[in-house]
Amino acid sequence: MRKYMILLLLVMAAGLQAQESCAKVFQANDGTKNASISALVINAKTGNVVDQFNKDLVLAPASCTKVLTTCTALELFGADYCFSTYLESRDSIRNGVVSGDLYIRGTGDPTLGSRDLGDRQFLGKWVNALKRRGVTHIKGNIVADLSFLDNEATNPTWQWEDMGNYYAPGISAIAYMDNTMVISLKSTQIGEKVTILGTNPNYPGLQFVNEIRGAGIDYDGALVNGVPFCDTRFLRGSIPANKDVFGLKGDIPNPGLLLAHHLRAALLDSGIVVDGTTGYTFQSDSPKRVVLYTHHSEPLSEIVKVTNVDSNNLYAEQLFRLIGSRAGTPATIDNAIRVEQYCWSNRGVNLKTAIIHDGCGLSANNAISASQYVNLLTYMRSKSKNWDAFYASLPVSGVSGTLKTLLAKTPLQGRVHAKSGTIAHTRSYAGYIEGADGETYIFAIIVNKASCKSRVTREQIEKYLLAVMEGR
């Protein structure tokens, strides 16, 4: 009994010491001493806790949400999965003629025309494929079939100030050119409204309500606001004065419709006659159609890598909706949430107390704990067939992606493979540390409501990780 009590006291003392090491680092800074923090570090081989603080407290994880999204997508669809986009008609080609509409049916591929991944010259291949099928004349319209997803293109928990900006574009069964356009502006003197020169790509029918003015600043202080499928965008804020050309990024209102415009133009340029115009639909009779050509994306392993290394919100949200399609189509946000919960409950990772609203982390209503992240990451390392693809998708400290400056020129440079998360007053990291002792450690830390600059919170997290790993 005496030995048992001594052992229990030693375990309790170790737990208190672990909590103190985290608390001391963050209490030493005025901006983080009153922040909400959840942290856990374990030895991957033994499962022993190295350090922990409020490990079960659920907090907003920001872009660390992408860890859950990408792990779920890999588990459900596999690293080799490719999105498919179909060119279809209602009838077979007869004497080179498509008698009705030509449909572009999407299934959520985020890479069509993307600057980050895939073939940006794919339209020429589509046209050539139709020519090989003998198509010379399309009597109907070019129609974007968006029926794979529902028409709730933005998450209802996102803030209005985000919607319409390039980092919060609408999600669609057909994503195109990263769902992003660049608005070219010209500014003159301070206080004067800027002039809109045009957009790239050009979007037919787009209108602006412009309130942007030149200012004595050297940064982009402007925002684009708007909702999907609406051709009006509100511009507000300020940009540097006296700029001949200044690029402001915003979303494309209807990327599927823009792709239909571009395909029609490419067909006409190639000599194929198109009698109709362009359109889009959320209603589909695709089982009755003839598939004329199928376009495949890069494999999911590559898509997940862009998602995590670059913290790409569009890619994450498209994957989130793909996850929802496992419960049926049109895929919905609610289905995506339910499928994620079901996926991990079957794999022994308890997410019952987690709150998930989106796939990218823009929603401030998301909440997850450090222990839930560590359990998820432990499963991926020890049990998942997709471990290699997931681990390769994580940025490396001081080396790549969103971790390029984290722990640079410290003993942990190149040793941390993790996802980061940053929104206002929130910083989070979750991943793996390759210790100098040859051991692997799994960790997660989430800091909410820090009153200091984000950079300062990051510095405190760096101090914490260095302190925890010192001497190991």
Given this model, what pLDDT does residue 11 score? 36
Confidence of residue 119 (pLDDT cuts 50, 70, 90): confident
Identify the band that residue 13 occupies on the pLDDT scale cut at 50, 70 and 90.
very low
Amino acid symbol at 51 = D
Indicate if the pLDDT at residue 3 is higher than 50. Answer: no
Q: Which residue carries 């990772």 as its tokens?
A: 349
pLDDT confidence bin for 16, thresholds 50/70/90: very low
* Residue 169 to residue 317: CA distance in whole angstroms: 9
Would you say residue 250 has pLDDT above 50?
yes
Kindly state the tokens that stand for 216: 């004595």
Instruction: Check residue 208 and give its pLDDT.
Output: 96
Distance of CA 420 to the CA centre of its chain: 12
28 against 333, higher pLDDT: 333
160 DSSP β-pair partners: none
Kindly report whether the global pTM for this prediction surpasses the value 0.75: yes
Closest CA to 169 of 126, 227, 208, 113: 227
DSSP 7-47: HHHHHHHHHHHHHHHHHHHHHTSTTTTTSEEEEEEEETTT-
**pLDDT score recorded for residue 10:** 36
| Amino acid 23: pLDDT | 64
What are the structural domains, with CATH classification, of the chain? 21-79+302-469 (3.40.710.10), 84-150+255-298 (3.50.80.20), 177-251 (no CATH)
pLDDT classification of 304: cutoffs 50, 70, 90: very high
- Of 140-144, 150-154, 294-298, 314-318, least confident by mean pLDDT is 150-154
- Contact partners, residue 180, CB within 8 Å, separation at least 6: 166, 169, 249, 250, 251, 252, 314
The reported pLDDT for the residue numbered 21 is 66
Q: Which residue from 468, 464, 445, 460 is spatially nearest to 30, judged by alpha carbons?
A: 460
Q: What is the DSSP letter of 232?
A: E
Q: What is the mean pLDDT of residues 282-303?
A: 94
Answer yes or no: are the C-beta atoms of 384 and 390 closer than 8 Å. Answer: yes
Q: What is the pLDDT of residue 176?
A: 97
**Rounded to whole angstroms, how far apart are CA atoms 124 and 282?**
26
DSSP string across 412-465: TTTTEEEEEEEETTEEEEEEEEE-TTS-EEEEEEEEES--S-HHHHHHHHHHHH
Please spell the DSSP secondary structure of 196-225, one letter per residue.
Answer: EEEEES--TT-EEEE--EEES-SS-EEEEE
Over residues 252-277, mean pLDDT: 97
Instruction: Give the pLDDT band of residue 12 (cuts 50, 70, 90).
Output: very low
Q: Convert the pLDDT of each residue in 167-181 to its tens digit.
A: 998 999 999 999 999
Query: What per-residue confidence (pLDDT) applies to 26?
Result: 84
Mean pLDDT within 400-414: 96
pLDDT single digits (tens) 62-113: 999 999 999 999 999 999 999 999 999 998 999 999 999 999 999 999 999 9
Q: Has residue 8 got a pLDDT over 50?
A: no
Amino acid 446 reads: I
Give 85 or 163, the one with higher predicted confidence.
Answer: 85
For 354-399, write each residue's pLDDT tens digit: 999 999 999 999 999 999 999 999 999 999 999 999 999 999 999 9
Residue 472: its pLDDT value, please? 67
Strand 273-274 vs strand 137-138: parallel, antiparallel, or unpaired? parallel
Encoded tokens for 398: 């001081």
Averaged pLDDT for residues 24-52: 91
Please name the residue that has the structure tokens 């090491």.
21
